[in-house]
Structure formats: structure tokens, C-alpha cells
Amino acid sequence: MLYQIYETQRSLMEPFADFAQAASKLYSNPLSPLGQSQVAHRISATYDLLYRLGKDYEKPAFGIESVKVHGVDVAIHERVEIDKPFCELRRFKRFCDDANTLNRLKGQPVVLVVAPLSGHYSTLLRDTVRTMLSDHKVYITDWKNARMVPLSEGEFHLDDYVNYVQAFIRHLQQQYGNCHIMSVCQPTVPVLAAVSLMASRGEKTPLTMTMMGGPIDATRSPTAVNNLAMNKSYSWFENNVIYRVPQNFPGAGRRVYPGFLQHTGFVAMNPDRHLSSHYDYFQDLIKGDNSSVESHRKFYDEYNAVLDMDADYYLETIRTVFQDFKLVNGTWDVRSESGQLERVRPQDITTTALLTVEGELDDISGSGQTEAAHKLCTNITRHDSHHLEVKGAGHYGIFSGRRWREVVYPHVSEFILRHPNGAVPAKGASQPRGAAAAAGKKAKPAVKTAARKAATSQRVSAARKTPAASKTRAARRA
């Protein structure tokens, strides 16, 4: 019922928002008689703010039309490579008529960016993609709004998420021989599961995994977001945040965690900050500070655009990641596309290098949560395991903005270039073959407990000593 009430309220507000937009333009137009008033700018700013608060925010476009590669403008064509019921694999194809640049593009590594399915659209990683395109062939998972997916397409579970990632990896491997994979926030857990299952079956795994700001082990330094998921029962979430999509959408009847509820939660985390931001926007409109006005609009066009998540996927993520901690406890079984349950065993990964990235001030994924992946992937050698903590960076700062471009990206790019053939398997490491090995008996540890502890300690030490290479240096190595 709440979803229907919200949609009714939104429909009633729509004409008022349109009126506010028209009135704002009328009072800001110097040719309009109303625009001649001394208070015209203030009235126009008031109507503009009302329009921004009342409008409906649709999915933004990536809008990446070109990037520079070694000083040369390269055109970008965005297209859907694979279209699945709940996700599109989106490619950013680069075109250039400069022969030297074209040769560089052909030899650059392939990266699959797995975007989060946690409220916002994949366009939240626009800056991530734009930066990566200067040195990499880039693909991204573009998750669909569950309310737009008809019930006839079936349900979407956390297991399906894992299977989607594996299907996308295999597609890129078939095209290019292999690929690198990068996950941001929420997908660090299913991506680690996907690569682990592929390793357990004896499949070819990605050359590198880069995991950024994700809850691999949510018991470490739990944040307010973690505490909510941990302290409320599974039934509480099912009874209080799950609703059915109304009749005016293609996914009518589907059980979802609605986007408008998620957005309310986002704003409630920092209400004072958002109130101050909107007041500053109002003042900038009056002053005519077009640069600040446009910056505010771009941010909130992205921030206010939210999608519905399928209920099964959301509830299973809560239970698996934040309540039962199945990944770190070694108790997570994933149902494959063939219907067989397979145990997730990160220790079976041997030929994929691992880089973890955390922000010092991350208030969504606490300190040590992402770094915990190293403790699970015990058969990735110290030489192929690195951790980066970004000083002064919050959650968004590790994949967007100045710190991402100047600190994190050079480190990520260098790490990828250092592993054109993947990781070197640890001495004595064994890799189970076939689905039976993955789902059944526990293999004997390939590395003794003492050695594992020493390797973990050395990984952290090595990561701290490893400087982030500059973008120019990465290009030279390419």
C-alpha cells in the first residue's frame, strides 16, 4: 500500500513541479515583464528549488562522448553487449583515426567494472569509467530497475547475481582471451564468490581482481549501515521495507525494496548536510554563480535517481553478508545455473592477483572490511596481493573525484599492467577440479597456518611500501 500512496503523491506533485519550472524560467527571463522586478532573481530561485525538490529523477545517462588518450581525442560509442533480464553488459567502444593511437588502444587491457546494485544506477561510476577509458577497454554491469522487469522474467536472487558476473567474465574471455575485473562497494562479495567458484571448477579466472570499499567482512569496524543490517532481524526487513510494484509499471506485482525508501535512508544519514547543500544552491542561484549551480544539479541528478531492487536479492544479501557472514565463515553455497549447490572457496583462487582499496574515512564500508579478502584468498602469493588505504578519502572518494583520479587510479592501472599474465600460483597450491570438488570435501590447506599469518602480515607491509605510479609511467609500461 505504501508504494501506491507514494506513486499517487508523486503523480499529484508532477504538475506543480512543472509549474514551478515554468515560473522559474519566466522570472529569470530578462525579456519577460516579471523578470524586470528587483526581486525577480529571488522568486526565480525559489521556484527553481521547489522544482528540484518536487521533480521525478529518471536514470541519468553516462554521457561519455570522448576521452583523451596520450593527448589525442578518442570518440566513445556506448552500446549494450549482453542484455539479461536484470542487467545489461555495457561496452564503451573507442574510435580513433590516428594510427599510432589506434595501435595503443588495441593493446590495452580489458577491464570488467562491476557496479553496485544497492540503490543508485551504474552511472554513479561515470567518473570511474571515464578515467579507466584512457588506458583500458572498459565494460560495466548496468543493473536494471526491478520495477521495469516483468514478472514473467522470474525472480532475481543473490545466486543469480553471482552467475551473471561469471557469464560476463566468460564472454570477455572468449573475446579477448582473458580480462581484469574491478568491483566497487556491494559487488565485492558476489565478485569474490564468482571468481572463487570458477577457480574451484578449474575454469580460467580473471588476471586481476580489484576490490574497492566493499563489505567482505562486515564484522570489522562496523558502520551505521552495517549496524542497521546486523541489528534488525530478517523478518523485520521483509515486513517493513518490501512492497509490491504498482500496476502502472511493467514489473507490476513484483516484490521489491523500493528506491524511494532507499533514498529516504540515504538522506536520513546526513540530513543537515543535504539541507545546507540546498540552501547554498538557493544562494548561488540568486548570486548567479552558474558553476556552483551546475555542480549541484549534476550531483543531485545522480544522487536522487534510485532504482528498485528485487526483494529476494536484497533480503538474501542482508542475511548472507551482514547477518550470517557466510563468506568469511566458509558456509556460503551458491546455486549454479544448472541448479547445483557449490561451496564458495576463495582459497582455491591461485592465478588471479588481488588488489584491495579502502578509504580512510569510509562511513559505509569500515576499515579492514575490504582488506579481509587477503585473509580469505590464502593461495594468492604476497607478491600478487596488495592493499591501498587512501588517506582522507570517504566512500565515494575512492572511485570518484580528485583522489580517485590522482591517487587510486594510478595504483590500479599500474597493478593491472604488472599482471598481464595473472598471478603466479603459490608453491604447493592445489586447485580443485570440477563441480563435485567445489561442493564437497574440504581440501587440505596448501599453506601452513604460520606461513599464512606471515604472508598476510607481509602483504599489508608491502602494500604500504608500494608507491602509486603516475599515469604517465603506466602508459609507458603499456
**Domain spans, the chain:** 2-56+259-303, 66-237+309-477
Report the C-alpha gap between 214 and 404 in whole angstroms. Answer: 16
Q: How confident is the model at residue 470 (pLDDT cuts 50, 70, 90)?
A: very low
CA dihedral 324, 256, 164, 130 (to 10 degrees): -100
Q: Angle, nearest 10°, between helix axes 40-54 and 271-287?
A: 140
Cβ neighbours of 473 (radius 10 Å): 14
Q: For 250-303, write each residue's pLDDT tens digit.
A: 999 999 999 999 888 888 878 898 999 999 999 999 999 999 999 999 999 999
Q: Determine whether domain 66-237+309-477 maps to CATH 3.20.20.70.
A: no
Cβ neighbours of 378 (radius 10 Å): 22
pLDDT of residue 391: 95
Please, what sign has the CA dihedral across residues 121, 125, 130, 135?
negative
% of the chain beyond a pLDDT of 70 = 89
Are 156 and 317 in contact by the 8 Å Cβ rule? The answer is: no
In this prediction, residues 128-149 reach a mean pLDDT of 97
In this prediction, residues 377-386 reach a mean pLDDT of 95
The CA–CA distances, whole Å, from 339 to 159, 321, 331, 451 equal: 10, 22, 18, 37
pLDDT of residue 281: 94
pLDDT of residue 430: 58
Main-chain phi, psi angles of 138, to 5 degrees: -120, 130
Q: For 200-209, write each residue's pLDDT tens digit.
A: 999 999 999 9
In this prediction, residues 86-107 reach a mean pLDDT of 93
